[in-house]
Amino acid sequence: MTDFPHNWPTAYPKLSVSAQFRTQQDDFFVSEITNRQLHASGPHLYLHIEKRGVNTHWLARQLANHAKIDLKDVGYAGLKDRHAVTRQWFSLPLKNNEPDLTHLFAKDEFTLLSKGYYGVKLKRGALGGNAFRIVLRNVQGDQAKINQRLELIRNQGVPNYFGEQRFGHDFENIQQAQQLFESGKRPRNRQKASMYTSAARSYLFNNMLAKRIELKQWDIPMEGEVFGFAGSLRGFKQENNEDERNRLRAQRIHPSCALWGKGDALSEGALAQLEQTQAHAYPLLSQGLEKQGLKQERRATRMLLPDLFWQWQDDSTLVLRFNLASGYFATSVLRELGEINVLERDQQEASRD
């Protein structure tokens, strides 16, 4: 197996700070944000569920079993961790009568918060974002410096890395992607195939972003820049006009890096060279993504947190609250604070979710 280095740099100088994360289940709370207006009737039943101690795939299977439908017909917008309290939307197609889910919601780990109806199935990525509440315990470090760092993050954002949970325990998803590309065969489980290719794409992106951080150009444009929007996979070439500069200063647009695939990456000059160098460093991954038919897309290099708030419950307990766009990772925020330790069992379960 090829080694996959992942000691990616932080944007800001290291703080002498340590803390523990997710030592208790309630320390990690995530709630999906949706702008979808539900109706009193429709062909798809939407369920807003709070869950504890189970991952998204497991709950989807339970819903399918109780509703007597195929698992592939259960819709959800994203994956949520097992070791957390999460509020998430699911959709079920209605054929004749609405399914009786009373027995499922009699269990302590599930609570039905609300329900409604909509015209189409809930698809992956179809959400406005996620609201997070994170509790850090046993915080060691200068409280004033931590507050200053959080102010800096709120004003300037953090690098928009994919979180390590994307890559699986011991980077197993990348290794599986490598095997997939070497064999040229797609596994029977399409969800796993998608997970492996996403991991490969995310790894190349993180390497590109890391190089921009080393060059101190992760949040400012470089030659041949392609700008993008938060949460968008599209980009547009740098025009170097006043309107563009004003939008950049107002943080309405962001520099970007390639999500590798076939076709034109849009970038030119120094940025194109940087992206190609990082992609070609792992030819099996980059060529495999192209052969799988994935098209070139873009991802912003900067993640903004203008609504970041925090509170010290006591001298060693820090509570963070913030919202992130779909596909953005809370761990990318935490890594800019210091050494945030998570129990190994949590990391293993997160890689399976």
pLDDT digits (tens, 9 = 90+) for 175-190: 999 999 988 776 677 7
Specify whether 172 is located in the same domain as 295: yes
Specify whether 191 is located in the same domain as 286: yes
pLDDT score recorded for residue 1: 43
In a domain, 345, yes or no: no
Specify whether 299 is located in the same domain as 166: yes
Are 45 and 39 in contact by the 8 Å Cβ rule? The answer is no
pLDDT score recorded for residue 2: 52
Specify whether 208 is located in the same domain as 297: yes
In a domain, 204, yes or no: yes
Determine what percent of the chain is predicted with pLDDT higher than 70: 96
Most confident of 8-12, 73-77, 228-232, 322-326: 8-12
In a domain, 118, yes or no: yes
* pLDDT confidence band for 160 (50 / 70 / 90): very high
Q: What is the mean pLDDT of residues 100-114?
A: 88
The CA-based dihedral angle spanning residues 66, 70, 73, 77, taken in that order and rounded to the nearest 10 degrees: 70
Dihedral sign, Cα of residue 7, residue 274, residue 198, residue 186: negative
How many CA within 13 A on the CB side of residue 225? 22
**Catalytic residue among 3, 26, 27, 81, which?**
81
Are 303 and 229 in contact by the 8 Å Cβ rule? The answer is no
In a domain, 344, yes or no: no
Instruction: Please check the confidence at residue 83 and state whether its pLDDT lies above 50.
Output: yes
Instruction: Please check the confidence at residue 351 and state whether its pLDDT lies above 60.
Output: no
pLDDT score recorded for residue 191: 76
Specify whether 113 is located in the same domain as 238: no
Which range is least confidently modeled, 91-105, 222-236, 240-254? Answer: 91-105
How many CA within 13 A on the CB side of residue 162? 21
Specify whether 40 is located in the same domain as 128: yes
> Which alpha helices (H) appear in 171-282, and where do they start and end?
172-183, 190-214, 242-249, 269-280
Instruction: Please check the confidence at residue 249 and state whether its pLDDT lies above 60.
Output: yes
Specify whether 191 is located in the same domain as 109: no
In a domain, 72, yes or no: yes
Q: What is the mean pLDDT of residues 145-154?
A: 98
Instruction: Please check the confidence at residue 87 and state whether its pLDDT lies above 70.
Output: yes
Specify whether 222 is located in the same domain as 315: no
In a domain, 347, yes or no: no
Q: What is the mean pLDDT of residues 201-215?
A: 98
Most confident of 70-84, 304-318, 330-344: 304-318
Per the annotation, the verdict on 315 as an active-site residue is: no
Q: What is the mean pLDDT of residues 108-127?
A: 90
Which range is least confidently modeled, 146-150, 188-192, 347-351? Answer: 347-351
Specify whether 90 is located in the same domain as 210: no
> Which alpha helices (H) appear in 157-189, and where do they start and end?
172-183
Instruction: Please check the confidence at residue 339 and state whether its pLDDT lies above 90.
Output: yes
Nearest to 232 by CA among 254, 248, 250: 254
Residue 328 token pair: 């953005």
pLDDT digits (tens, 9 = 90+) for 275-284: 999 999 999 9
pLDDT score recorded for residue 170: 86
Q: Whole domain around residue 190: which residue ranges?
A: 161-303
Alpha-carbon distance 337 to 19, whole Å?
9
Instruction: Please check the confidence at residue 352 and state whether its pLDDT lies above 50.
Output: no
pLDDT digits (tens, 9 = 90+) for 282-324: 999 999 999 988 999 999 999 999 999 999 999 999 999 999 9
Q: What is the pTM of this model?
A: 0.88
What is the domain-level CATH number for residue 211?
A: 3.30.2340.10
Q: What is the mean pLDDT of the chain?
A: 90
Residue 168 token pair: 């699986």
Number of domain units in the chain: 2
pLDDT score recorded for residue 343: 64
pLDDT digits (tens, 9 = 90+) for 25-38: 889 999 998 878 99
Q: What is the mean pLDDT of residues 132-139?
A: 96
Specify whether 298 is located in the same domain as 165: yes
Alpha-carbon distance 216 to 116, whole Å?
47
- Measured N-to-C along each axis, helices 190-214 and 283-291 cross at an angle, to the nearest 10 degrees, of 130
Q: What is the mean pLDDT of residues 111-135?
A: 91
pLDDT digits (tens, 9 = 90+) for 258-270: 999 999 889 999 9
